Structure 1
Amino acid sequence: MEHEVTLVKPTLDLQKEYISFYNEWVESGENMVPWVISKDPTDFEAMIQFLRDNEDGVNLPEGWVPDSTFWLINEEKRIIGAVNIRHGLTAFLLNSGGHIGYGIRPSERRKGYATKLLALSLEKAKELGIKKALVVCDEDNLGSLKTIIKNGGTPDSDFIEEDGNVVKRFWIDL
């Protein structure tokens, strides 16, 4: 089942679709991944500006690196997923964040979108000048594990977080 999906930069035109995407995550009660989608979109213009500022490295918190956010949309302009690409790695990101954080809305999972989203994200990372992308997932997230391997991930050492959570770490040559 081949889906026509593309990555787009966050835009005011997609406000209605984004609110639906956001609300679905909130209702699911799941952790919102990537972290940027947990930002309250009530003031939609401010949220878009925040994402643009992050990309330009403006007003970043101490020790943060610039990042780019893209939305995965289908032909109907429905937002299927989101990705946040860090332009560089800090010590924290090297252990448990990686370059690319992505998520597919709950109702659109198990349809092959994550593999496509990561593939498109790797192209964007390459355009940002990243030569080797670090992509991580929790050990118990089998869907994500398979997605990373399908996209050429080479395993590196695991990182164990303070709470005992095991983060699987993979490098992908771009």
Structure 2
Amino acid sequence: MPELTDPTVRLRSSFLAAVAEFRAEPGATPVPWFVSDVEPAARTDPAAFAGYVARVLAERTEAGMRADAGVPMTTLWWAEGDQMLGRLAIRHRLTPALERVGGHIGYDVRPGARRRGHATAMLAAALPVAAALGVSGALLTCDGTNTASRRVIEANGGRLVATEGGKLRYLVPTTA
């Protein structure tokens, strides 16, 4: 059964295969930001990949946070055995920009693993993690045209609170 796990070098091959799937996906422009975030050296050199994993894990702290994010975030991978199926990022707090677009939690399921319930299960597994990080109600956003993401959010108790500029904003409880 899949579960959330910290990014790890153990999943390097599967993670890189997922990155390749995202890059090759027809009509996927732009590719998810985390795909673009993988340095070219990390795609070919195991030591550079270990550095990438260390950087992603460090983003959980104020000192290690991404400058372009402006907040610490916990990245987790959705994996079953040695197969990386998706990734999820929990932002520890929101900036005004993240309140409009992005929210507390963002997730992606690799193209070859979609339509199997992974996104719904991944978000459900992430909500207690968000609660432990002090997020009492997670804000999630999605495009109004993204029916799949809307269903995932609503299946996890998301309540639509606003629509702005084609984006839907949902509040999702992080505790039962």
TM normalised by structure 2 equals 0.87
**2:168 paired with 1:168:** yes
Where in structure 1 are there 5+ consecutive unaligned residues?
Answer: 161-165
CA distance in 1: counterparts of 2:85 and 2:105, whole angstroms = 17
How many pairs were matched up? 164
Residues 39 and 47 of structure 1 are in contact (CA less than 8 Å); yes or no, is this contact kept in structure 2?
Answer: no
Q: CA offsets, 1:101-136, max 9 Å, x none?
A: 001011111111110011011121111111010011
SS at 1:143's partner residue?
helix
Residues 138 and 173 of structure 2 are in contact (CA less than 8 Å); yes or no, is this contact kept in structure 1?
Answer: yes
Where in structure 2 are there 5+ consecutive unaligned residues?
Answer: none
**2:61 paired with 1:70:** no
Partner of residue 36, structure 2: 38
Seq. identity, %:
30
Deviation at 1:58, TM superposition (A): 2.1
Deviation at 1:158, TM superposition (A): 1.1
Partner of residue 82, structure 1: 87
1:108-123 matches, cutoff 5 A? 108-123=113-128
Change (3 A) 1:140 1:63: closer
Partner of residue 55, structure 2: 50
Residues 64 and 72 of structure 2 are in contact (CA less than 8 Å); yes or no, is this contact kept in structure 1?
Answer: no
The CA RMSD over aligned residues, in Å, is 1.5
Partner of residue 107, structure 2: 102
CA distance in 1: counterparts of 2:156 and 2:125, whole angstroms = 10
Q: CA offsets, 1:39-95, max 9 Å, x none?
A: 223221221122122112224317700001000001x32011100110000000001
